[in-house]
Each structure stands twice: as C-alpha cells, then as structure tokens.
C-alpha cells in the first residue's frame, strides 16, 4: 500500500493579534483540505505520468510519426485522459473549498477584523494608502487563484477580509510547507543574501507585490537597519499586513499602495535592493515590461534585484512537465502563468539594467520551522505548489 507524509496540523500556524478566529469545524475543514491536497499530489498526480508514458505519447506517435512538439500538443492529448480529468477536478475542488471555507470564516467576522486592524494601526505610521488608486485591469478582471474578489476588493471602508482569508488559507494549498508564519520563501532568500553577500548593507529595500508581507518581514528582520518599503495594489492586503507587522513587533516596514508599473513615489536610484516573491506570474504581458523598466529606474547603480518564482519553462524541462505546471493558467485563474514562465529571465534582467554576464539564477528551498524533515522528505512534485523556487536576478551595472 502506498504511504505518504501527512502535512502538519493547521493549528501549528502562528496566530497573531489580527488573525481571524476559527471554530472547531472551520479548523477541521482546513485540515481535511490540506490532507486532501497532499493525497491528490502524492497518490493521484503520478498517475498522469503513467498514462502519458503508456498510452498518450505512444498513441500520438502512432498517428503523427513523431513525439510532441510543445506543451500545448501534450495538453490537447492529455485532456481526454480520465486520470488527468480526475486529478484536475480534485485539485480545482480543493482550491474552491479552501477559498470558500476561508471566505465564510472571514466574512462572518469582517467587521471585528477591521476594528482589530484599525486599533492596531492607531498611532502607527507604517501604512500609506493612495487616494483614487486604479487597480491594474489584469488584477481587476480575475479572481486570482479562485479567491473571490482577489486582493483588492473591499466590502466596506477599512475591510481586510480577503487578506485574512489569504493569511489563514495559504497553509492549505502549500500543505504547511511554508512554515508557521507562511514566510519560508522570505526566510530562505534573506538567509541566502546574507550568507552570499556578507558585506552587502542595504539602506533601502523595496518589496514589490508584497501581498500582506509574509515574505517581506523575514527580510526586514534580517536587515533591521534597513528601511523596507512594501508595495502592493490591494488595500486590504496592505492594511492587514501593516497591522500584522506591528503585531509581530517588526517596525522597519512601511506598506504602500503603489502600482509597480508606475512607481513615481520613488526617486531614481532610491533602493539598494529590489525584491519580488511569487509576483511576476500575477502581472500581465504589457505590465511586466513597464515594471522592469521602473525597477531599473528606482534601483541604485550596483544595487541588487532578485525575483522568486516557480521554475521557468526552459528547453531542458520536458513538455510533459511544462504541461503539468501550466495547469494553473487554465484551471486556477492564473491567466499570465504560462506566458510568464515562457519568458527568458536574462532578458527581463537586462530590462532592469543587469548585464547578461552578471545574471544569476539559483534554487531556493523554503525554510520551514514547522517540520523541516517533512519538507526535505517530500519527494513528489506538486507542479507549482512545491516550496522550491527559482531565484533569478543580478546586480545593476554601473
């Protein structure tokens, strides 16, 4: 019989002052869904490869006299496979159920959450919201990863409901592999920069698309003398993030509502380090180039620019793996996912002012304080959910 490692229990998440309250049944639903996700990725997903190798690829070859030429041909052939339909439907259902459980939890206490956040922010100066902010259309028109209302929707003035949903629910999709504060990526990148560049002493750090700051805070903690600016388009995320940072005792981060494609609030060369984490795939085909142009402008000569993402679709990645990784683009409301992963990071970095000779790319694994042994021991690939990322970037040339 197949065995697989259980995810940690959801109650191991560190609850802070502005975290939503959960009943027994609401906790149980999240635990069930985290386990279902793990089961789907460990016990069911490998069946796709068996079907591909044994039936789908040989049948395609028999008809066309060749193998697949790209992931789109794989997608067309695999879409009729019962195992793929079963895996996809279960994956989609777990995501929908996660969003609906989180949504029910936060909506019934939305007013109290907003009041807790307001009280936490009284007298604090770490939140700057823009008047008449225009949410980029590519965000406005999509419920990203099936989160109703995405990052920006406010149900009333001062609302933080969607951010509280995101904070409590990401554990379920990641199977608890991001740590007790869902900050395993930020911890990993901060530690990597510190170890790799011990003499680097950034005075000003910009985190673009910070969300509620899960991965911003570890950077701010490891560089306590730096002034950290965390920008996002979603007011609920920023409000909640600013209150959460206060609640966790982190005082060197300011959360600002700013469009990354138009960062006129910052002077040329203002930042020594510009960071993004799981952000680029949630931008758009035109916006991404404006964003890199803006990064080039606000980054100081000799400054560091890093991006954490899921792996790009490189020529050495099989079309089967590219197809599996593309699932989010079609079934998880991530419309830019596939296009972003087709881009050449070295080209993007040139737009940010990094010489191709100085381009760097490394693999980084989440630091998981909940259960590092389980993180290390997880062998199955979850195609876009694993806490192992591609980091690319470089130092801006003089």
Ligand X SMILES: C[S@@+](CC[C@H](N)C(=O)[O-])C[C@H]1O[C@@H](n2cnc3c(N)ncnc32)[C@H](O)[C@@H]1O
Q: Which is nearer to ligand X, 175 or 319 (CB)?
A: 175
The pattern of x and - marking residues 231 through 260 that bind ligand X according to CB under 6 A reads: xxxx--x---------------------xx
**From the centroid of its chain, how far is CA 349?**
20
The rounded distance, in Å, linking the Cα atoms of 44 and 50 is 11
Is 394 one of the binding residues for ligand X (CB under 6 A)?
no
Strand-pairing partners, residue 271, are 299
The rounded distance, in Å, linking the Cα atoms of 242 and 382 is 32
Strand-pairing partners, residue 273, are 205, 304
Q: What is the dihedral of CA 37, 38, 44, 48, to 10 degrees?
A: 80
Q: Which is nearer to ligand X, 74 or 208 (CB)?
A: 208
Is 341 one of the binding residues for ligand X (CB under 6 A)?
no
**From the centroid of its chain, how far is CA 301?**
28
Is 215 one of the binding residues for ligand X (CB under 6 A)?
yes
Question: In angstroms, what is the minimal distance from the CB of 11 to ligand X?
Answer: 21
Q: Which is nearer to ligand X, 105 or 295 (CB)?
A: 295
Interface with ligand X in residues 256-295 (CB under 6 A): 259-261, 277-279, 282-283, 287
Question: In angstroms, what is the minimal distance from the CB of 272 to ligand X?
Answer: 19
Q: Which is nearer to ligand X, 262 or 358 (CB)?
A: 262
Q: Let me know: does 228 contact 256? Beta carbons within 8 Å.
A: no
Question: In angstroms, what is the minimal distance from the CB of 387 to ligand X?
Answer: 12
Residue 323 in tokens = 């197809």
Q: Which residues contact 27 (CB under 8 A, 6 or more apart)?
A: 10, 11
Q: Which is nearer to ligand X, 202 or 384 (CB)?
A: 384
Helix, strand, or coil (residue 393): strand
Is 211 one of the binding residues for ligand X (CB under 6 A)?
yes
The rounded distance, in Å, linking the Cα atoms of 389 and 382 is 12
Q: Which is nearer to ligand X, 48 or 275 (CB)?
A: 275
Is 139 one of the binding residues for ligand X (CB under 6 A)?
yes
Is 333 one of the binding residues for ligand X (CB under 6 A)?
no
The pattern of x and - marking residues 119 through 138 that bind ligand X according to CB under 6 A reads: -----------------x--
Ramachandran assignment for 23, one of left (phi > 0), alpha (psi -120 to 50 degrees), beta (any other):
beta
∠ CA 38-372-40, nearest 5°, is 5
Is 48 one of the binding residues for ligand X (CB under 6 A)?
no
The residues binding ligand X (CB under 6 A) are 136, 139, 151, 209-211, 214-215, 231-234, 237, 259-261, 277-279, 282-283, 287
């Amino acid at each position: 019989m197949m065995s697989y490692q259980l995810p940690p229990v959801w109650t191991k998440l560190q609850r802070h002052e502005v975290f939503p309250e959960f009943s027994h049944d609401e906790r149980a639903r999240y635990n069930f869904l985290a386990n279902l996700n793990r089961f789907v990725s460990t016990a069911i997903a490998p069946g796709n490869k068996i079907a591909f190798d044994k039936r789908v690829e040989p049948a395609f070859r028999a008809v066309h006299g060749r193998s697949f030429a790209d992931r789109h041909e794989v997608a067309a052939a695999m879409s009729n496979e019962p195992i793929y339909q079963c895996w996809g439907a279960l994956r989609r259902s777990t995501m929908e159920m996660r969003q609906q459980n989180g949504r029910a939890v936060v909506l019934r206490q939305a007013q109290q959450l907003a009041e807790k956040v307001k009280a936490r922010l009284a007298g604090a100066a770490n939140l700057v919201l823009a008047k008449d902010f225009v949410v980029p259309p590519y965000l406005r028109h999509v419920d990203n990863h099936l989160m109703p209302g995405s990052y920006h929707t406010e149900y009333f003035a001062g609302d933080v409901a969607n951010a509280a949903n995101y904070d409590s629910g990401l554990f379920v999709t990641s199977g608890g592999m991001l740590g007790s504060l869902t900050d395993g990526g930020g911890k990993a990148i901060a530690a990597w920069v510190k170890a790799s560049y011990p003499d680097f002493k950034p005075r000003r750090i910009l985190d673009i698309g910070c969300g509620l700051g899960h991965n911003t805070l570890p950077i701010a903690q490891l560089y306590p003398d730096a002034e950290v600016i965390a920008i996002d388009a979603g007011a609920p995320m920023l409000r909640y993030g600013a209150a959460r940072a206060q609640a966790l005792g982190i005082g060197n981060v300011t959360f600002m509502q700013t469009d990354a494609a138009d960062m006129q609030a910052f002077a040329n060369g203002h930042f020594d380090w510009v960071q993004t984490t799981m952000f680029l795939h949630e931008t758009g085909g035109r916006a991404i180039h404006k964003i890199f142009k803006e990064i080039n402008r606000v980054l100081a000569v000799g400054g560091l620019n890093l991006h954490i993402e899921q792996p790009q679709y490189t020529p050495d990645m099989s079309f089967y793996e590219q197809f599996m990784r593309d699932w989010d683009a079609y079934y998880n409301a991530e419309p830019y996912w596939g296009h972003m992963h087709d881009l050449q990071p070295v080209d993007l970095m040139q737009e940010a002012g990094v010489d191709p000779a100085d381009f760097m790319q490394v693999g980084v694994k989440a630091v998981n304080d909940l259960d590092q042994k389980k993180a290390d021991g997880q062998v199955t690939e979850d195609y876009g959910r694993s806490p192992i990322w591609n980091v690319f970037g470089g130092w801006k040339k003089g």
